[in-house]
Structures are given as C-alpha cells and as structure tokens.
C-alpha cells in the first residue's frame, strides 16, 4: 500500500510524506536564520520531533511490509530513509553545529519527489545518445578552464598579485568567466589579459553552451521516437 | 465593430486604444520620476483624465454592444477593463501612493496587445509537447537551487556571516549564480565554496538552459507540422 | 572590374579597399586614446589623408564606370561611400570633436565586408521562417521588461531610492538582469524584491533565450533544404 | 606497443603517461602558489625531475620504435613531446621566472588526452557543415563588437573618462557585455548609453548565441547520419 500510487490511500500517504519532507526542509532553513527568538526555536524543534517521529513510523512500516527485509535496509531509499532519521537520535546529545550538518542527509529524501516521473527515462536515454559528445565537451571544457587559468595568471599576476595569486585562484576566475556569471571579484586589467579573455570567451562560450543544445536536441529526438511508437 | 479587426474602422479603433494604453503606461512611468515640476504633474494628470475618460467610454460601448452583458462583465477582459478604470474614480480622494498602486492594474490591458497573434497557439502547442520535460526540469531546478543554497551556506556562513546569513539568503546567491546573472553582491571566498560553486554550475547551467532548447525545438516541430499541413 | 570579384585584379582591388577600411577604423580607434604624442597625431592625420584620398579616387572611378550615374549616386553603397569621404572635406575647418562624430559614418563602409557572402541569404530565409515567433517573443520580452521594471520599482524604491529612482531607472535593471549581464550596479536587497526577481528570471530567461534557439533551428532547416536541393 | 591502445600493456602505458601529465600539471599549478615552504618546493622539483625523466625515456623509446625517425621528430606530437622536455634541460641555468614560462609548453601534451576520441571526427564534420554560418556570425559579431565600442565611447566618454578612456577600453566593455559576463568594472550611466546598451544587447545576444545552436544542431545531424549508416 505504501508505494501503491494508484490507490487513494497510497496516494494520500505519498502526498503526506512528501509534504512532511518539504515542511522539514523549510524548518531546516528557518533554523539557519540568525537572531531567532527562543519561542521560534521551540516551535521548530517541536516540528522537528514530530516529523522525525512520523518518518520513523514510516521506516518501521516499510520494514514490516518489505518482502525481503535485508533487501529494503540496504536499498538506496532504505539507506536514505535511515540516514534521514538516525542523526536525530544519535546527535541529540552533541553540540548544535554537528546536528545541523547531520540533518543535511535528510535532503536526500527529496530525491523521492522525482522518483515517479515518466520523463526521467526519456532524459536518461537522451543522455545516452549524447554521451560521447558530452564526455568530449566535458574534457575539452576542463582543459580550457586550466589553460585559461594559466594564461590569465601570467598576464595578471604581476599587476594584481592580490587577486591572481596562483593558478588555483585564477581557476576561480576562469570558472566565473566561462560560465558568464562574472561576479566582478576578479577581472583582468592589463591589455594582454583582456585580449586573452576575449579569445578564451569566443572559444569557451561555445564549449560550455553546446552540450546544453546537444541534450535538448537528443531529448526532442527521444520524444519524437516515443510519439511515433505510440501512433503505430 | 469594436473587435472587428478586418474592417477599417475596427482596425483604427483598435490601434487608437492600444496607442492610448502605451501612452498611459508612459505617463505612469514618468509619474514615478522624482523631482517633477508641478507643471509636468499637471500635464500628466490631464493625460490621465483623458485616457481614463476614453477607456470608460470604450467600456460602456463594449457593454452596450455585448450580446450577453453579464458574460462580458465577468469575462477576463471585461474584468481587466473595469479594474483599469475603476481605481481612478475610487482612489481620487485617497493619498497619492495608494492611487499609484491601483494604477498598476491597468498594465493588465497590455495583454490585449498580444491577443490577436497566430503564433501564440503554436507556442501553446509547443509548451504542451514539452510539458513533462519542463515540469521535470522545473522540479530538478528547484531542488538544485535549494541544495546549492544549503551547500554554500555551510561553506561560507562562518567566513562571511554578514552575506550568507541563512539558507534563505544563500538562496538568493543560488538564484543569481545558476541563472549566470552574477551581480557580485554575494560570492564564495573559501576554496571549498568555490569548488562547490564549480560543480553546482557544471550541473546547474544545463538544468536551467536545457528547457529553453526544448521549447525552441518543440516550436520548430509545431511550425514544421503546420507548414506540411498547408502544403497538402 | 571594380566589383568583378572573380578576376585577379578585381580581387586585389577589393582586398586593398577592405584593408584600407580596416586600417582607417584602427586609426579612428587610436585617435580616441587620451595623451597621444603630437607625433602620433601627425602620423594618424597623414594616414587619414591618404585613406580618404584613395576612397575619393575609388568613388570617382565607380562614378565613371557606372552605367547610370544617378543610380549609383543614390544607391545604398553610393551614399555610404560619399558619406565616408565627405566629412573630411567639409569638417576640416570645424573643431575636432565634430570631425570625430562625422567620421563615424565611415563605419558604414564595413558593411561591404559582408556583402559577398552566400550564407546571408540563408540567414534571411531563416529569419523569414521564424518571423512570427520572433515578433511574438520580441513583444512579450518588451512587456516583461516593463512589468519587471514596475514590479522591482515598487519593491525597492523605498529602500534604495538612490538606485531605483523611477520606472525608467528600474528598466535598466530589468535589461541587465533579464539578459543575465548583471553588472552589479543595481540589485534588489529586500526579500520581496529578490523573490520577485526569481520569478521574473524563471520566465524571462526563456523568453530572451528561446528566439535564439528558433533562429538556429530555422537556419539548420534552410541549410538542410539547400543540401537536398543540391543532391537532386 | 606504445600506441597500441587495444593491448593491455599499451593501455597501461598510455594511462601511466597521461596520469604523469596530469600530475605534472598539478605540480605546475602548486608551484605558482605564493608563500610555499622550502620543503614543498623541494618535493615539487623532485616530482618535476622524475616526470621529465620519464617523459625523456618515453621520447627516446618513441624515437627508437618509429619507422621513419625524421617523420616522428617533425610530427605534431613529436614536436610537442620535445618542447615538453627540452625547457627543463636548457632553462635549469636561467632564472626561475623564465623556466616557468617555458614549462607552459608542456601543457600541449594534454592534447594527447583527447587524441583517441571517436566524437572528435563527428565534431569536425559538424563544424564543416556549419562553417559558412559560423564565419558569417563571427564576422558580424566582430563588427558588432567594434560598433558597440564606438557607440558607448561617444555616450560615456565625457561622463566617465576614467572608465571609457578610448575605443579600445570600450571594446573591453563590449566584450564583457555581449558575452553577458558583466563584471561590473565598466557600465554605462547616461540614459543614452543605457538605451544604446539595450539595443546592442537585443541584437548582440542572438549573434553571440546562435552559432552555439548551429553547432549543436549540426552535431545532432551528423550523429543521426551515423546511426542510420550503422543500422543499414
């Protein structure tokens, strides 16, 4: 019944659990806000206790109905479910900071939200079609990032040693520039560095953007095939 | 006659009304400029009165020619038209600030500008084709935004507590980074945060950009089908 | 002979003229540099005189060989050629600033560089195919820019009146944000403004980016048709 | 055996060499870090010596097994291999700075990492298909960059002479704006400059982004052809 998405009770159960996951994520986020009043903190830890309680009941239920218990315990979602509730029982004696980090594991549960979607298999097939190209572009993008970092390091290091300290620091510049994020915390000021940036961008924009286009066209192709298969 | 786009008088009427909408939007914008001279303000309120007057006449005309009056009054554009003129009569006694906010409703009228376009139905069909993929990518993008915000919060909160105050504040960073806007008001400075950003961007750019490619290819497909249907 | 791109002398002539255009653009750019030495200025004005001289000879030659002189004089490139040389003779008595602005007209000559390219007709046909969609997206993008500007004005004006002074100032923010340029000179700081930006970006990115994908797929389609036409 | 990717020993050899290249790049990067302890420097130069030693042995081996020695020496990878090891022997007597720059040549070896990939030939064919369009868009993008730089120079030079010093400085603005990087080191502040930027971006975004879409669709087309050829 628990996973029977077609029955009414199964549906309700799934929706309740997923709402609780979202609720638990919201309280997790609120908890990070500085200057919370003690009352708010109390309400948050109350919601925390209730959601973890329900998640524990759900885990025990799933364990009870599972045909092969060990199989469920060591399945991906079995481990995720356990990791999502375990920190609460273990970490309650430790300091706050540590608990917070453990809580992060509960985020894995959100993966369940995307479990039952027909479009995922199509996406996987599209990735399969474009696999080789994606690998090639990934590799070339990596090489380009490194070469850009080395290049800009030689151009800018002498003039801005505080920003372009090393090739590693320049790598950060390369990442923010080639993805066109451009925070503005690091940018070339020498003529050479700027001309270098121009050429790197001309080549790099394509290398970063083409894979997106490839995935999109592979997805359309897969959808096309499915539509034709349904018609015949 | 009012909506008869094919007759000359109907066309003229539509163009006049649409020009008045644009004019009314321009005066609305000018009105927000600080340090306007009293004379300019007077001219603006004069234009305001005239446009609202014409819109009122248009509304009454439409009401008069409507086959079923109640149907028109409660239709989408009937409500929009009423909301566009009502604030002027109601709010004239209230303070300026309130009037301004009510005026915003008139913007809804601009939707009429796009009412008579053949390409819209094709766009809708394209959205229909790519619906499932768009939903999936939307969900994954949402999850990724949240995970990025939580991740960067753990990396940067200790070093920059004034910028990465909470998961909510980090969410703003995630939005500006994954859309590659990159204002530069918040950016990671720790090595861990920067490496995390690199991986988030590698995955995230595709997730934000692929839907665009999907819509574009779905649109081409729909246009293709239409062209073929016309040829046969 | 002047336009006979196939003959050797015609080719040489075309290349010489185009090199001179590029040279003239480079000197134009150098001329804008502050703190130039008087010697450099002299060399620049010498190159200026020589290039204008050659352009004048070219214009007279073209006029001489034209079958119908008046047709050439009033043709697009006839006017461009005249406007490119005329300012030099007229403006030499005026002040420097004015000359500079007139010189800008010479840039129009660079259009000749792209005159003889087969890919242009394909690009035009692709634009023709995607025309309706481009118009629709252009209109919607315009409306979205305006609505974004109005929205952010209401969210941010009170908190940052120096940045979000009016709807017109907010429009600049909308342009830099929806194109993902994100200079960082204006950005929302209120929670409402940031959530608003998130939703605007979600819708806006697609509206700005889809037309590009449309043109790209229309171009591939046109190229496809041409390839097939050549094969049969 | 050295290039025989199918045999086990050949595979191992290739992986060892490629790992050494990556290791050598990592040490190269670490070497640029400021404030390294003398011990770290010593370890780095030790690794340096070992890797160059192995690369030298590899070069001699390749030379020994080559059918035509002079052919290998003057082949692309023959020159790259020599350039990758030569600087170490020559430059050891010179100052540190010079050595570093020579070391950069070793980066060329990384090209070997992408040598054995089937997707490259498809990428080349895709570039061949889209060649004319890419050239056209490249040229138009170049012209647009120049015109944008000249335009913004006239709008902003008087108000911000320290930022928009000359057309060359404005070119940097044009590059960062049209690629949507937007560092925020230079941006228009006049109303004219902002409206100009708006129009430049409307045209420019497409011109910079369309080539990416073209390459992506050409790549899908090539992959399609290959899939069909395999099926028949």
DSSP B115-158: TT-HHHHHHHHHHHHTHHHHHHHHHHHHHHHHHHHHHHHHHHTT
Task: Summarize the confidence of residues C9-14 as an average pLDDT.
Answer: 74
Q: Which of A111-120, B204-213, C150-159, C160-169 has the lowest mean pLDDT?
A: A111-120
- Write down the residue that tokens 């070069």 correspond to: D59
Percent of chain C with pLDDT over 70: 84
Closest approach of B229 to chain A, Cα-based (Å) = 18
C110: pLDDT confidence band, cut at 50, 70 and 90? low
Which of B93, B23, B15 has its CA nearest to residue B53?
Answer: B23
Nearest chain B alpha carbon to C195: B172
C112: pLDDT confidence band, cut at 50, 70 and 90? low
pLDDT at B200: 92
CB A109 within 8 A of CB A21: yes
- Ranges for all domains in chain D classified under CATH 1.20.120.350: 8-112
Contact call for C25 and D146, based on CB within 8 A? yes
Q: Taking phi first (over 0 means left), then psi (-120 to 50 degrees means alpha), and beta for anything else, what does residue B184 get?
A: left
Q: Which of A88-102, B113-127, D57-71 has the lowest mean pLDDT?
A: A88-102
Computed over every residue of chain D, the mean pLDDT equals 80
Nearest chain B alpha carbon to A168: B191
Angstrom distances, CA of residue C132 to CA of A155, B41, B221, C103, C220: 47, 39, 15, 37, 18
Contact call for A184 and C180, based on CB within 8 A? no
Of A165, A182, A209, the CB nearest to D34: A165
Region B8-112: CATH code = 1.20.120.350
Nearest chain B alpha carbon to D213: B213
CB D219 within 8 A of CB D126: yes
Residues of B in contact with A182 (CB under 8 A): 180, 182, 184
Cα C187 off chain centre by: 28
* ipTM of the complex in this document: 0.84
Closest approach of C89 to chain D, Cα-based (Å) = 22
Contact call for A184 and C184, based on CB within 8 A? yes
Q: What is the CA radius of gyration of chain D?
A: 25
Provide DSSP, B148-213. HHHHHHHHHTTT-TTTS-SHHHHHHHHHHHHTT---SSS---SHHHHHHHHHHHHHHHHHHHHHHH
Helix (H) or strand (E) holding B6: none
Contact call for A32 and B157, based on CB within 8 A? yes
Which of D112, D125, B180 has its CA nearest to residue A139?
Answer: D112
Of D146, D167, D189, the CB nearest to C32: D167
Closest approach of C129 to chain B, Cα-based (Å) = 9
Neighbours of D167 (CB within 10 A): 24
Which of C110, C142, C156, C126 has its CA nearest to residue C17?
Answer: C110
Neighbours of D191 (CB within 10 A): 12
Residues of D with CB under 8 A from a CB of C: 129-130, 132-133, 135-136, 139-140, 143, 146-147, 149-150, 153-154, 157, 161, 165-168, 177, 180-184, 187, 189, 191, 194, 197-198, 201, 205-206, 209-210, 212-214, 216-218, 221
Closest approach of D187 to chain A, Cα-based (Å) = 12
- Write down the residue that tokens 């034709």 correspond to: A228
Of A182, A213, A216, the CB nearest to C182: A182
Phi, psi of D35 (to 5 degrees): 60, 40
Task: Summarize the confidence of residues C90-106 as an average pLDDT.
Answer: 56
Which of D76, D88, D14, D92 has its CA nearest to residue D51?
Answer: D88
Of B182, B213, B216, the CB nearest to D182: B182
pLDDT surpasses 90 at C194? yes
Q: Which residues contact D36 (CB under 8 A, 6 or more apart)?
A: D30, D44
Residue D112 is given by DSSP the state G
A90: pLDDT confidence band, cut at 50, 70 and 90? low
Closest approach of A70 to chain C, Cα-based (Å) = 44
- The size of the A-C interface in CB pairs under 8 A is 8
Residues of B in contact with D220 (CB under 8 A): none
Residue C47 is given by DSSP the state H
Contact call for B184 and D184, based on CB within 8 A? yes
pLDDT digits (tens, 9 = 90+) for C48-67: 888 888 888 888 888 888 77
Residues of B in contact with C173 (CB under 8 A): none
Contact call for B210 and A208, based on CB within 8 A? no
Which of A154, C153, C161, C210 has its CA nearest to residue D104?
Answer: A154
- Write down the residue that tokens 């119908």 correspond to: C68
For chain D, the residue count is 232
Contact call for A184 and D179, based on CB within 8 A? no
Closest approach of D120 to chain C, Cα-based (Å) = 21
Residues of B in contact with D183 (CB under 8 A): 184
Nearest chain B alpha carbon to D185: B184
Secondary structure E strands in chain B: none
Q: What is the CA radius of gyration of chain A?
A: 25
- Ranges for all domains in chain C classified under CATH 1.10.287.70: 116-231
- Higher pLDDT among residues A152 and A90, named by residue: A152
CATH topology of domain B116-231: Helix Hairpins (1.10.287)
Residues of A in contact with C180 (CB under 8 A): 180
One pLDDT digit (tens) per residue for chain B, 232 residues: 555 556 677 777 777 877 887 888 888 888 888 888 889 888 888 888 888 888 888 888 888 887 788 887 887 777 777 777 777 776 555 555 455 555 566 666 666 555 555 677 888 888 888 888 888 888 888 888 988 998 899 899 889 999 999 989 999 999 999 988 889 899 999 999 999 999 999 888 888 778 888 888 888 888 888 888 888 7
- Write down the residue that tokens 């335009």 correspond to: D151
Contact call for B123 and C139, based on CB within 8 A? no
Nearest chain B alpha carbon to C177: B181
pLDDT digits (tens, 9 = 90+) for A27-75: 888 888 888 888 988 888 888 888 888 888 888 888 888 778 888 888 7
Which of B127, B191, B120, B181 has its CA nearest to residue B155?
Answer: B191
pLDDT at B130: 83
Buried b / exposed e along A219-229 (16+ C-beta atoms within 10 A) = bbbbbeeeeee
């Amino acid at each position: 019944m628990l996973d029977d998405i077609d029955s009414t009770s199964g549906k309700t159960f799934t929706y309740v659990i997923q709402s609780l996951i979202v609720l638990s994520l919201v309280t997790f986020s609120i908890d990070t806000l500085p200057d919370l009043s003690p009352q708010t903190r109390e309400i948050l830890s109350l919601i925390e206790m209730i959601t973890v309680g329900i998640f524990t009941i759900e885990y025990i239920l799933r364990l009870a109905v599972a045909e092969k218990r060990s199989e469920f315990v060591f399945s991906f979602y079995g481990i995720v479910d356990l990791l999502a509730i375990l920190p609460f029982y273990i970490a309650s004696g430790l300091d706050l900071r540590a608990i917070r980090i453990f809580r992060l594991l509960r985020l894995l549960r959100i993966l369940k939200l995307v479990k039952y979607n027909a479009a995922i298999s199509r996406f996987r097939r599209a990735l399969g079609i474009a696999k080789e190209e994606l690998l090639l572009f990934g590799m070339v993008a990596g090489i380009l990032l490194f070469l850009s970092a080395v290049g800009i390091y030689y151009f800018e290091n002498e003039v801005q040693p505080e920003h372009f300290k090393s090739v590693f620091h320049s790598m950060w510049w390369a990442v923010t520039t080639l993805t066109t994020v451009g925070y503005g915390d690091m940018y070339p000021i020498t003529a050479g560095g700027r001309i270098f940036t121009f050429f790197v961008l001309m080549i790099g924009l394509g290398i970063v953007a083409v894979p997106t286009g490839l995935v999109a066209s592979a997805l359309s192709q897969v959808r096309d095939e499915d539509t034709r298969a349904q018609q015949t």
